[in-house]
Amino acid sequence: MSVSKKALVTGANGFIGSALARRLIEGGYSVRSMVLKGTPETSLEGVDTEIFYGDITDPSSLKTAFRGIDVAFHLAAMARDWGPKWLFRKLNYEAVLNVLDVAERAGIERLLHVSTLGVHTYRPTFGGNESTPPDSTLNAYCIYKRLGEEAVRERIEKNRVPITIVRPGIFPFGPRDTTSFYPLAQALEQGIFQFINGGRARICVSYVENLADGMVCAAEHPDAVGETFIICDDEPHSWRDLIGAFCDELGTGRPRFSIPAAALYPPAAIMMGLWTAFPLPGEPPLTFYRVRVASVDLYFTNEKARSMLGWLPKVPFDEAVKKTVEWYRGVKGRLKR
């Protein structure tokens, strides 16, 4: 890889985007980090990157962002399980069309589109892979991420721009994860976390450094053009084992209580109904999505990435947990979320 290559990362100030920017710079790339003005930039502090303030919903903004770019990584999206349907459509589907159009006209060498395992219906799955049907209708996030991926696939078939699709594991984690791990660690320290169905459900996880490394590998490999890859760590982890590892590193007691999933769907339905019917602040404390993801096996393998790309997750699970907790301890009490 030539050290003169320039990469664009949309959503670069996010948890995964900032890790990717670091990995690209370590690999010799010059990185342009596309950031929505007014959103936090703490995750990019100390990163030798060009900050470009832009908006993925604005084609003219994207056109400027893509100028002089060799490889683009599209991560920017609305990654939540609750919100206005129109906004999910705008950010997770219509913006993808914008990126595809601009990337095609820019004539870049590769576009890597970051999708989600949420494109799959969250039915009990152990050993799922890239051929598992992308058929989710669980919520607006899943629907429009699926439609966005379908739009990418249609463009791949037209062969107008070299594209690769990546789906991270069900639970990405690591340093600078203010959305999932930070509040999880707080709940564990406060002793208020409870398992669903005993925490027996097994999932695939993606430690963020391994994920970023896999994304770069997929973007550079010549055989990855037109392909989809699940980039996750090797072993399945039950929620009980995953949370237990975090508790041990945090020095807290492991959660002892559990609630059956069947008992949570009725209150989730009531909460979702209230938040839909009235302009209540924030989001419902419980949703079908959250119950589902914590109560059924959702383990997908990384075998395709290992065999086709020769990629291996470099950071082992125990070390990943340690690094994540060390980051949490360093920012606890002073983090501006």
Residue 273 included in any domain: no
At residue 2, the pLDDT reads 45
Q: Could you tell me the end-to-end alpha-carbon distance of the chain, in angstroms, rounded to an integer? A: 36
Residue 262 included in any domain: no
User: How far is residue 278's CA from residue 244's CA, in Å, rounded to a whole number?
Assistant: 38
At residue 262, the pLDDT reads 98
Cα dihedral value 122, 124, 127, 132, nearest 10: -40
Residue 254 included in any domain: no
At residue 175, the pLDDT reads 97
Residue 195 included in any domain: yes
Find the largest Cα–Cα distance for the chain. 56
- Residue numbers of the chain with a pLDDT score lower than 50: 1-2
At residue 336, the pLDDT reads 55
For 74, the token pair is 């599209």
CA nearest 118: which of 239, 268, 292, 303?
292
Instruction: Name the domain count of the chain.
Output: 1
The CB density around residue 192, as the number of other CB atoms within 10 Å, is 10
Domain that holds residue 59: 6-239+294-331
At residue 279, the pLDDT reads 87
pTM: 0.96
Domain containing residue 107: CATH number? 3.40.50.720
At residue 159, the pLDDT reads 83
Cβ atoms of 305 and 311 within 8 Å: the answer is yes
